[in-house]
Amino acid sequence: LVPEHPTQSVCESANMGGPKTVEVNPQESQFGDVKWHNLSIDECMSLQTTKADGLSAQEAASRLTKFGTNELTPPPKPGLLMKLWYQINNILIYILIAATILSAILEEWKEVALICAVVVINVTIGIVQEGKAEKAADAIKNMLAPKAMVIRGGAQVEIQAAEIVPGDIVKIKKGDQVPADVRMIEVSRLQTDEAMLTGESMPVAKHTDPVALESGLGDRKNLAFSATKVTEGEGTGIVIGTGDFAEIGRISGMVSQEEDTKTNLMIQLEIFGRFVSFFVAVIAVATLLIAHYSADEDLGTAFKSAVSIAVAIIPEGLPAVVTISLALAMQLMASNNAIIRKLPAIETLGSLSTICSDKTGTLTKNEMTVQKFRTAKGAYNISGVGYQPEGQTQDANGSALPGDAVQRLWAMFEGCVLNNGAGLAQEPKTGQWKALGYPTEASLLTMGMKMGLANLDGIQRSQKAKPKVNGVPFASEHKFMCQIHADGPGTDGKGAGAPLTCHVKGAADRLIKLCKDQVVDDTLGQTAPIDGAFWQEEARKLAALGLRTLAICRAEWPESRRNEDMDADTILKAPQPFLTMVGIVAILDPPRPEVVPAIKVAHEAGIVVKMITGDHPETAIAIARMLGIVDPNSAEAKAFTGPELDNMDDTHLEGVVEGCNIFARASPENKISIVKALKARGQITSMTGDGVNDAPALKAANIGVAMGITGTDVSKEAAKMVLADDNFATIIEAVREGRRVWDNLVKILLYNMPVNLAQGLSVFFSYIVDVESVPLTAMQVLYVNMITSVTMGLMLSMEPAEADIMQRPPRKRGKRLFGKLVMWNCLWVSGLIVTCVLVCFAWNLRENPPTPENTARRSADDTSPRMNKARAEAFNMLVFAEIAYALNCRYVKVTSIRPELFTGNKWCWVAIAVTSSLQFLLTYTPGINDFFNNAPIDGVSWARIAVGSIIVFLVVEIMKFVGPRFLLPIVRPLFSVCLSMTPPALQGPDRTNDEAMQNVHFVATSASTLGVVPPRRSSVRSPHGSRRPVSPAAVPLSPEGGHMEPGKNAAIPPMAPTFGGGQDVPAMQARGMMAPQMMMPAMYPQAGAPPTVEMGSVVPGNMYPAQGMYGAYPVQYATPANMYTGAA
C-alpha cells in the first residue's frame, strides 16, 4: 500500500483524457502527497486497494498495526521541575542566590533568611500565575467521534472511532460527527458544518465529483473532514486520513510545533537584568577595592560591604511588583470579559499594531439573519441581528412600516415559516437564541417572529394551522425546497379537504424561470406577468452586497395531486411555468453591532484590522466594507485567496500581506503564513478566532485571542487571551488596558531604578566622602526593596490610563523599558536622594559626636545606640524621599501638582499610610528596631526628613520642565552612544551592529563631525526591526536631475517634516544638532517628476523626496563625494 521508497502511481482520470501521475511520498502522509479531491472514485479505490464492500477484518487489523490508531499524538508537557526552572532562569534571581551563598559563608543568617524569602516569594508568584499547562492538542483529541459505522467484509459494523484505518468504507448521516477525513463516494443531500475548520458560515453540500487541483480546503466538496458535524443527509466515503494525518491532525501538529512568542516585556526585563547585573558587578568590585585599600577595612568586612551594595542596587522586589501588577491587570481585564491566560501577554496587547481577525463568529455573529427583502413594489429592511427575535420591518429609508403594511407583507411571505425544516430554541440560563437545523431556515423563522409571530408558540400555531401534506427536501443538485401545505386543519386536523398551496424557496436563478406571474402592490391576491429581467437584476444587486438570496414563490396545488410521490422533477419539469414570485429574501451572517465602532477606535489608535476567513472573496469584501476594514465607498477593495497566497514567495507575500486587509478562502497554513509575514515586517500581531482552523495562527501570533462562547476548546487553549463575551470591542478595551500597563511599568521602573541606585550608592559614596560608617545596613535595604518599593510600585501599577492613550500610535517594536528617560532619572534622582541620605546621616552623627578615643571609621557591624540612631534617620530619609519621588512618578511628563494627585488613585494614599505606619513601627518598637539596626529619633530629625522629602519632590517637578528642554538634549547623544556601543549580551534581539553604527554616525554628525558609512543599495531597517525596500516613490528633486554641490543644503520647503523631536531643520543646524554638510531631501512630489526609481538606481548627486515616511527610519543622503546618514 505504501512503498518503501517514493514512487509514482498512474491512474486513469475521470475528468481528463489521459493518464494522471500522482506523486506518492510516504514521508509526507499516510499515502504520500496525494490530492484526493482531484481524483475520481475509481482512482481513490485503486490507491487505497479497497472496494465497495470494505476491508476484511484481517486487512483492517494489519493497517491498524501499520498506521496506528485514529488518535492524535499528544505533545510533551513541562513538568513541575521545568516550570520551576523557567522561574529561576533569571539573571536577577541568580545574583540573589549568589548573595545568599556569600552571606551564608559570612554567617550573616538574617540576610540569608530574608534573601531566601525574597527568592521563594518571586518564584512562587511566578509559578502560581503561569501554572497553566498547554491543552490545545488534548482539546482537539477530545473532539474526535467516539464511535463510527463502517463496512467491513460487506457488512455494516459499529466500531470505536480509534480503530478506523485508511481504506475503510465509512457511512455517515445527519447528527453524526465525521470520524476521519473521508473521500465521498455516495451522497444523499449530505451537508456538513465546517465553520470550525474552514470558517465557512454555511453548511457545505457534498458531492462525489473530482474538483480542481488548486481548490482550497473550503472548496473540496467531495471530502468530509474529521470532527466536522453532519447537518443534513447521509453519505458513504473512503477514509483517506486518520489521526495525525487527518486535516484536524495537521492542525494539532501545527499547534504543538508552533513555539510561544517571547513578549517584548520578557525581552526588556532580560536586557534590564543584564544591565543591572553588569552595573552591580562594577560597583561591588569598586567598593571592595576602596573599602579594603582606602578605608583600611579587612577583606571580610570589605566583602560584606560589597555584598550589601549589590543587594541594595538589585531591585529584588521588581519581579514581584511586575508579576503582581500584571496579575492585578489580569483580574481587572477578566472582570471586563477579557481572560488573560499568560501574564506577559497583557503588556504585548498595548503594542499591537495589527489585529488579524477571523470573520465567522468573531467579526460576525455566526447567526444567519434576514436583513433585506424585495417585492415587485419595493425594497424593505428588517432590523436586528442574529436569531434574537427583536427587530422591525422598515422601508428602504429605515422608517418603520405601519402595522397593516407589515400584515400584508407577512401574508405574502408566510411560506418562509411554513416551508421550513428548522427550529429555534432559547437557552433558559443565558436567554440566547440558537438555531436547530439549517441556519438559513432558522433565520426565516426569526424573520417571521419579527413580522408578526410573537414567539415560538406563534410559529408552531401557524405551522399547525396549515399542516404540511407533501414536499421535496432541499438538495444542492436542484437548489430549492418545496412543501405542500393545506390552507387549514381540515376535517382531520391534518388538512383533509382543505385547499392546498405549494410553497417553494430556493436559488433565484433556478426559480425565476419557473414563475408565470408575480405579486404586485404587496397584496397577495393581485398579480401581474413575471418580469424575469427585473428579478434577475435585483438578485444580482443583493448578491453584490455579499448577501445570500432566496427566491420565495407559491402556487395553488390541485387536490388531485395531494398524495402523489414528489421529487425535484415534479417542480423542475412542470409542463409550463406555474409559480407566482412573491419576492427575494437577502440573508447575511451579520457583523456584530459593536465591532464597527471598535474598529474605528482601533484605526484611531493606529491599529490595522485585517480579516482572514475561509468564506468567499465577494462575501468577505462586502463584510469588510460594512465593518469599515476597507473604505465602504472604494471600488478597488481586493481580497487575496489562500491559493493565491500559496503561489507567492516570502518577499511577495510580505508585501501583499502588509498592503491587503482582506484574505478569503484561507487555510490554516495561510493564516500562519500571514501572521508570520506581518511579524517579519515588524508588526506586533494579534489573531482572533473561534475555530479549530484558527488554533495554529492563534499560537503563532504575538497575541492569540479566542472567543469564549462560540469558540472551540482548541482555540481557547492555543490563545493567550479569551473573550468571555465574544465581543470584538473587548479586544480594543484590552489594548487600552495593555497600554496602561506599559505606561505604569515605565513608571514603576522610573521609580525603582533611581531609588535602588540611591540605596547602593549611599553605601558606596559613604566611602568616597569619608563619613564614619555606611548609612544603611543590608537588612534595611532589603526591607526597602521588598516592602517600600513593592508597596509604592503596586500603587503606581494602579494608576488610571491617561486621556490620550488611544490616540497614540502603537509602540514601536523593541521599545526599551530601560530607555533614555530612565537613564536620565537614574543619573540625577539617585544623586539627589543619596545627598539627602548622607546629609541626614552625617548631621545626626555630628549632633552625637563619638568619644575622643573612638574616632576611627566604624564597620557596618557597629550597632551602637549612636550609630543606630543615625542610621534610623538615614533609613527614614530614604523611605520618605522614595514616597515623595513616587508622587512625582505618577505623572511622568506633566506636573504632579494637580487636584488629581489626591483623587486620581485612591491606592496612592493607602500605600503611603501603610508605608509610613511601618516606618514608625520599625523606628519606635523595641526589639523590632534592634533587628533592623534602628533607634528612636527626635523631632529635629523628623524635621530634616520632612524638608529633604519636600526638596526631592519639588526638584523633580522643576526638572520635569527644565530637563527635557535644556539638559536632556545635551546628554541624549551620550546616551545614544552608550546604548549603541553596549556589548551584544546587553542588546535586544532586534539590535544590529549596522543600526548601532548609524546611531554613532548620527551622534557624530550632530556634533558637526561628518560621518561616512558605506551605502546600502537595496534596503533599510525600519524602526520595527524589519528590512524593507526604500519608498518606491523615489524620484529626483527636479526634472533636470537636481544636482547639488557638496556642503550646500538643499532648499527646505515650508511643509517639510520636522526632525529631532519637533525641531525644524534650520533650528537644529543653528544648535549644532546637524552638520552643515548634511543635505536634506525635499519631502514632497514634484510635478512632472520622472517615474519611480528603485534604490539600486539612485545616483549620487541627485536628491530624492521620500513619500509616505513615518517614524524614525534611518535614511541615507547621497552627494557626489560621500554617502551620509541621519534619521528622519
Please state, in angstroms and rounded to a whole number, the distance separating the CA atoms of residues 380 and 401: 9
Phi and psi at residue 555, to the nearest 5°: -165, 155
Q: What are the b/e assignments for 334-350, b being 16+ CB within 10 Å?
A: eeebbbbbbbbbbbbbb
Q: Tell me the three cell numbers of residue 647.
A: 503561489
Residue 19 CA to its chain's centroid (Å): 47
d(CA 124, CA 591): 44
Q: What is the dihedral of CA 916, 919, 921, 926, to 10 degrees?
A: -160
H or E segment to which residue 279 belongs: helix 264-289
| Nearest one of 700, 644, 703 to 668, comparing CA atoms | 700
C-alpha cell at 1057: 517634516
Amino acid making up residue 709: I
Query: Is residue 423 exposed (0-12), middle (13-18) or buried (19+ Cβ within 10 Å)?
Result: middle
Give me the sign of the Cα torsion angle 697, 699, 700, 706: positive
Residue whose grid cell is 465557512? 200
Q: Is 1068 left (phi over 0), alpha (psi -120 to 50) or beta?
A: alpha
Grouping H, G, I as helix, E, B as strand and the rest as coil, residue 801 is coil
Q: Extract the C-alpha cell encoding 483.
A: 412543501
Is 743 an annotated catalytic residue? no
**How far is the C-alpha of 738 from the C-alpha of 340, rounded, in Å?**
11
Distances in whole angstroms, Cα of residue 15 to Cα of each of 43, 209, 222, 958: 11, 9, 14, 82
Beta bridge partners of 601: none
**685-689/354-358 β-pairing:** parallel
Place of cell 395531494: 562
Residue among 164, 234, 219, 170 at smallest CA distance from 38: 219
Rounded Cα distance, 174 and 359, in Å:
26
Q: What angle do CA 216, 641, 617 make, to 5 degrees?
A: 105
Q: How many CB atoms lie within 10 A of CB 14?
A: 13
Angle, CA of 1094, 1098 and 1104, to the nearest 5°: 90
Query: Reduced to 3 states, what is the DSSP secondary structure of residue 582?
Result: strand
Provide the β-strand partners of residue 323.
none
Report how far residue 474's alpha carbon sits from residue 511's, in angstroms, rounded to the nearest whole number.
13
Catalytic one of 176, 358, 522, 589: 358
The H or E element containing residue 990 is: none
Q: What dihedral angle (degrees, nearest 10) is formed by the CA atoms of 106, 111, 113, 115?
A: -110
d(CA 756, CA 280): 11
Contacts of 389 (CB under 8 A, 6+ apart): 424, 433, 446, 449, 450, 455
Say how many C-beta atoms besides its own lie within 10 A of residue 58's C-beta. 9
170: left (phi over 0), alpha (psi -120 to 50) or beta: beta
In angstroms, the Cα distances linking 472 to 516, 579, 744 are 21, 15, 65
Q: Are 983 and 1110 in contact (CB under 8 A)?
A: no
Q: For the sheet with 608-612, list strands across it.
A: 338-340, 721-723, 703-707, 685-689, 354-358, 608-612, 662-664, 640-641
**Which residues are designated catalytic?**
358
